[in-house]
A and B are shown apart, each in its own frame.
Chain A
Amino acid sequence: MRLLIGFLFSFAVAAAFGLGLTQLALTRGTAFGAITIGAWTAWPKTGTSDIDPYARASIARSGELPMGSGDGVAFFASSDDSGRALDGRCVVTIAGTTPAARFWTLTLYDLDGRLVSNGAGRYGFTSQEIARRVDGTFEIVVAPRARPGNWLPTGGIDRYVIVLRLYDTPVGVATRTAKDAPMPAVTASGACA
């Protein structure tokens, strides 16, 4: 009897621990081959045949098709530079420059990869439609209410992810630091609706 209870206990621990670990790894993302620059993280190997088993399982589960490395690389940010999770009720600015690329797009998604719904019907910007300063730097304001300049509406969503996609870019598997890839700063101003 005690043996049976022991086995059952063991199996319960195994199931909870094993499945929990899998769930955690697939939802949080893993550090294998990740490039983190400021608030941004990219997994360039996920766009090649060298993809790691965790990313493989993750895309099979979500149905996502990762960007091929011959196409470009996608950087994800779900928190600001100080590590606070992005909140759609607050004002967040994305400012600075981007790494060398033929062009880029910046898009807001919810955590499941759906576009963030808003009244203006604007889901992102491309590098060719934003207004820039004289020195070529730009500032995009992500906020629930209309703002002057490059305004990206959040529709008041709770949590969201910013995806910056660089197309036809030298940034990739060999990139290590911010010197190779100067990413824009992501700053939450603290002003919330």
Chain B
Amino acid sequence: MTRWLLWLLGGLLLGGIVHLATVLLLPRTATQDAYTRLSGTAPANSITPLPVPTPDDAPLPFMDPAFATAVCRYDLAAGPLKLRVPVSQAYTSVSFYGRTGIAYYAINDRAAGRRIIELDLMTNEQRAELPDDEEVTAADRLIVESPTPTGLILIRTFGPEPGLMPMARRALAAAQCRQQS
């Protein structure tokens, strides 16, 4: 009897390790994460408008139907990225996600403080290689550092009521996301 209890105890301890290992390894092995889901429809380093979510079909779970959404799936391997988003009349936000979906930075139109949200996105290494001249430190140049070389930028504009959704979508069409030359 005692022998079986010991085996059980050992099994439970091992189970705890299995639990921690699976939780920590899951993000690296997930096949249905947002980046993978969008890879088929969104080409790298350009803006792709996402379809409005419906009960039968949505590009991602838990999307807010009151927003028009576009995504820029980025790959910084060839160099930093320039993002330019003119704000809409209602509300515009830009959220940055790492490869596994971690939201590492988000900014909205009010925080940006002007009519166009302009950002440079680069990896930590690319940031470190930037020359330390005054152009880089100029206050009007907002630099965001991505923790992973690939990831997603979600650009969202608010449609306060269904009739204003076309306006929100039009505002998105002017957004740009491109590799710096």
Contact = CB atoms under 8 A, between A and B. Distances in A.
27 contacts: A6-B3, A6-B4, A7-B7, A9-B7, A10-B7, A10-B11, A12-B11, A14-B10, A14-B13, A17-B18, A25-B23, A53-B23, A56-B100, A57-B27, A60-B101, A61-B26, A63-B33, A66-B101, A68-B95, A70-B93, A102-B110, A105-B64, A115-B53, A123-B65, A126-B66, A126-B160, A167-B108
Given A49-B147, A123-B65, 7 more contacts: A9-B11, A10-B8, A11-B11, A49-B103, A69-B103, A72-B93, A109-B62
Nearest to B22: A22
A117 B91 contact: no
A162 B167 CA distance: 27
A6 B7 CA distance: 6
A165 B158 CA distance: 12
Contact of A19 (B13, B22, B91, B107): B22
A146 B16 CA distance: 49
Interface string B9-37: 01111111111011110110010111011
Contact of B60 (A12, A63, A163): A63
A17 B21 CA distance: 13
A168 B18 contact: no
A179 interface: no
Q: Report the interface size class on chain B.
A: 35 or more
A178 B167 CA distance: 36
A16 interface: yes
Contact of B54 (A70, A115, A129): A115
B95 A128 contact: no
Contacts of A129: 160-161
Given A14-B11, A19-B18, A67-B103, A56 B27 contact: yes
Nearest to A55: B102
